[in-house]
Structure 1
Amino acid sequence: MPQVPASPTSLQIRNLNRSRILTEIRRVPGVSRSQLAKKIGLTEASLSRITRDLIADGLIAEREGAARPIRGRPNVGLWLRADGVHVLCVALTAYEHKFSIVGSTGERVVEGSIPGVPGATPEAVVDHLRDQIVALRKRPDINLDRLSGVAISISGDIDAQRRIAVSASGVGWSDSPLGQLFEDALHVPVVLQSVSNALHIAEVRYGEGQAPPHSLLLHAGLGISASLMSNGMLSAGAEHESGIEHILVGREPGDPLRLTDVSSGRAILHRLGHPSAIDGSVTADVGLHLGLPHAVRQANAGDPNAVAIFAEAGHRLVQSFLGVVALVHPEQIILAGPLTAARPFVDAIRAGLREFTRSTRIPEPAIIVGRTGYLRATELTGLDRFLFSQVADGLVARQPVSEAMTPGPTASGAMDVRQIPASPYLEDAVGRGIGRHSG
């Protein structure tokens, strides 16, 4: 017998209203209380109570706007406090290994590369980042007392619910309990996500993509991954990059030909004769990420061999996902990762998709080439998780992850992104370079 969903409690409603207020303030910095009440649909008395609490919690500030009326009361608006919360963001892919700390407004307090990866142990990376935070806390110009959490994006196979890097070949880790390691070191909640899911959310929210019911992201870097959003739900399959890379696309004499053998950056560089690609070791990826931009330039300059290799890679990639297009009918396909800078690669995907949809009644999805980098995608999803997603009573920096604060996985293992309030603060900040920062 189906269960009747429980009505939201007064605390849940209050937390949701806090989230909506914070989201609107970052979308319209300096918005007045009366404008905010009309936009959200609260009485001015209710809104005043909540904003008073948010001010007391140090998350927002009230100050006069630039323009003041000649007579009467000053034009007072509400603004996010840049130091209201901070989030440590860590992006670990085969292509790059970076970290940053961002404040409530999305501006970076600090950023840097993580030394020794691949090769360094997870414990060494955690120790390095903890030392960075300890050093920053000694600086008088930076207030890191309110570190809300850690957001990690990683390529490979992960268990997001248990926050374990099951097999992160790009950094050489397996069965690493990253969530627990960071929590033990920093005593704040941790969220672990796949690179493709982080990119997908970031592009849908802040990139050129929209937020349609169905969206597919194809990520092509040194490895291959994908993320599917259907009716607002992110597929759990994005957590298993190896399953996507090992899709069978053909058969060489005696051996199966898999997607990673043709469409990945490693495969492209191998076919172009790059020495690190022939090496095949984990540490060889350090050389590969330097060789990939050169290979892209070769293809864009019209080198016949490079054009053919990139075109085949794009053709095989889109062919592998036509079944998904047929079943889900995505309104858009977002292409992300370094390979999307190669025109022959993108053109082959467009051509393959057009050829397929013309022979069917399936509408042709819009093709969007994403521009959000790995680190920036991690920052955007981290702020959503630890600040703008139903903040609970201002205890962001000290409260463990809970259903009231962050959306958890559904029974199927997928994460319902519709539970996460949209984060449109970058819509008005693109001109300041906040929304288009490469990872």
Structure 2
Amino acid sequence: MIARSQTSIRKDVYRRILELGTVSKAELMQEFTLTSSSMTRLLDDLNAQEIIRVSGLGSSTGGRKPILFQTNPTYRYLLGLEISRIYSTLGLYDMQLNMLASVRWKMDPGMTPERLVDRVGQEVETFLNEHGLQRDKLLGIGVGAVGPLDRERGLIQKPEFFPASGWDEVPICELLERRLGVTARLDNGSNAALLGEHWALRGRSARHLLYIHAGIGLRAAMMSEGRLIRGAADAEGAVGQMIIATDGPRFEGRGNHGAWEAFVSVRTLEHRVRTQIKIGRPSMLGGRHPDDIRFADLIEALEADDALVKEQFTEAAAYLGIGIANLINVMHPDIVVLGGPLIEAHPLVYETAVATALKNTASGREYSPAFSLAELKENAVAAGAALMLLQEWEV
């Protein structure tokens, strides 16, 4: 049984209906310490305010068919925003987390904080016009961003590798609230993506979920019993400083020697392939100037079964698996979700990383984690940011 204070019971019941999709009063009574009459009054009140709605009748077990309830998807609408190093994504969602519209743009050298906020404002206006919505129908905007962050103050602090200048100590929530006239909430992109993927996997009853993102850098987030695990500081990228080999290289001359990110990242792969081509290793990319080779070129060469590029991807994927095994051995998740440009580049990366992780995981007779590719892919952060906003909503 779930025991909650009277001040939060309304919110908890709403969230449970959201999670289950469609539910009867009897099913809710099994989980909450409310009398039958109290639950009836609560459901009637939510229904009268059109926050939830009757969705039909369930199957009878001998008496009257039970009334089924679900959340009202059009009661309000949610915005989810990802702010990342390469692309940013904005999505419009209903109250059942169905994506109604989405737009993605490149984070080029001109995409300063001011330009981004203005772009978000323009895209929101387009969303509202296309769907015939008034601004007061928006519940707010959730933001998942590259850290480090000051989540409570709504600040993006000192992110690395942004193409544009001006991204230090940015009060992103304040700027968005001023531009859009709605509430804004901030969390790091890994946590937001984990929330989104947990939502996508809700039918699998994942109690302990680990999310790994491999792209420009490495990020990770962990959830236990449906709650995000947070530390004393926002350090989503710090997982990349986990030491894989004490005598290993440093990532671009910074951080720990032998750190995970020195072996596994988009930038590391680009650097290693360029170096191998410079010393004369044969490759279909050999006709190009090494410094002009980008990750998209590596993917194209990998799909063409280029031996050098395949070797480098395989090695990076094996190191990815070693780091994942270390995290599994500490955290013991039920499910490990893998996402990000590096993992999505080719099945070879996912398969090699999972095989290596399982080989190095201290699994017992009663424990063996399951693995899953990120289902929401490039929309995971935006969807999770919208869900974060919904979870914080005081119904």
Alignment TM-score > 0.5, same fold: yes
Change (3 A) 1:373 1:35: same
Identity of aligned residues (%): 22
Is structure 2 residue 339 aligned with structure 1 residue 336? yes
Aligned to 1:423: none
Instruction: Identify which of 311, 316, 326 aligns with 2:329.
Output: 326
Equivalents in 2 of 1:276, 1:145: separation in Å? Answer: 53
Equivalents in 2 of 1:304, 1:199: separation in Å? Answer: 33
Q: Write the deviation string for residues 363-422 of structure 1: whole angstroms up to 9, x where unpaired.
A: 543332222224244324523x33355x53x4xxxxxxxxxxxxxxxxxxxxxxxxxxxx
Q: Is the 8 A contact 1:194 1:238 kept in 2?
A: no
Instruction: Identify which of 240, 243, 249 aligns with 2:238.
Output: 243
Q: Is the 8 A contact 2:14 2:71 kept in 1?
A: no
Aligned to 2:174: 180
Alignment of 1:148-227 (within 5 A): 148-171=139-162, 172=164, 173-207=167-201, 210=204, 212=206, 214-227=208-221
Is structure 2 residue 44 aligned with structure 1 residue 52? yes
How far the C-alpha of 1:149 sits from its partner, in A, is 1.6
Alignment of 1:256-275 (within 5 A): 256-273=257-274
Aligned to 2:281: none
Q: Is the 8 A contact 2:91 2:382 kept in 1?
A: no
Q: Write the deviation string for residues 169-217 of structure 1: whole angstroms up to 9, x where unpaired.
A: 3544222111222223334332222222222233233238955554432
Aligned to 2:113: 122
Aligned to 1:345: 349
Aligned to 1:354: 358
Residue type of the alignment partner of 1:16:
D
Equivalents in 2 of 1:325, 1:33: separation in Å? Answer: 39
Q: Is the 8 A contact 1:157 1:167 kept in 2?
A: yes
How far the C-alpha of 1:86 sits from its partner, in A, is 1.1
Instruction: Identify which of 317, 321, 325 aligns with 2:320.
Output: 317
Q: Is the 8 A contact 2:88 2:107 kept in 1?
A: no
Q: Write the deviation string for residues 331-350 of structure 1: whole angstroms up to 9, x where unpaired.
A: 43322112223233233323
Q: Is the 8 A contact 2:86 2:108 kept in 1?
A: no
The count of corresponding residues between Structure 1 and Structure 2 is: 368
Change (3 A) 1:144 1:61: farther
Q: Is the 8 A contact 1:23 1:388 kept in 2?
A: no
How far the C-alpha of 1:102 sits from its partner, in A, is 0.8
Unaligned ranges ≥5, structure 2: 275-284
Change (3 A) 1:52 1:212: closer
Q: Is the 8 A contact 1:311 1:347 kept in 2?
A: no
Q: Is the 8 A contact 1:63 1:77 kept in 2?
A: yes
Q: Write the deviation string for residues 206-243 of structure 1: whole angstroms up to 9, x where unpaired.
A: 23895555443221123211123356542438942442
Equivalents in 1 of 2:157, 2:202: separation in Å? Answer: 32
- After superposing the two structures, state which structure 1 stretch, 175-184 or 155-164, moved more: 155-164
Change (3 A) 1:362 1:164: farther
Equivalents in 2 of 1:316, 1:143: separation in Å? Answer: 50
Aligned to 1:111: 102
Residue type of the alignment partner of 2:160:
S
TM-score, normalised via structure 1 length:
0.69
Equivalents in 2 of 1:311, 1:152: separation in Å? Answer: 34
Alignment of 1:19-168 (within 5 A): 19-24=15-20, 27-28=21-22, 42-62=34-54, 77-114=68-105, 117-137=108-128, 141-168=132-159
Q: Is the 8 A contact 1:86 1:144 kept in 2?
A: no
Q: Write the deviation string for residues 311-349 of structure 1: whole angstroms up to 9, x where unpaired.
A: 211222233354433333334332211222323323332
- After superposing the two structures, state which structure 1 stretch, 265-274 or 356-365, moved more: 356-365
Higher relative contact order (CA 8 A, sep 6+): 1
Change (3 A) 1:359 1:137: closer
TM-score, normalised via structure 2 length:
0.76
Equivalents in 1 of 2:68, 2:366: separation in Å? Answer: 48
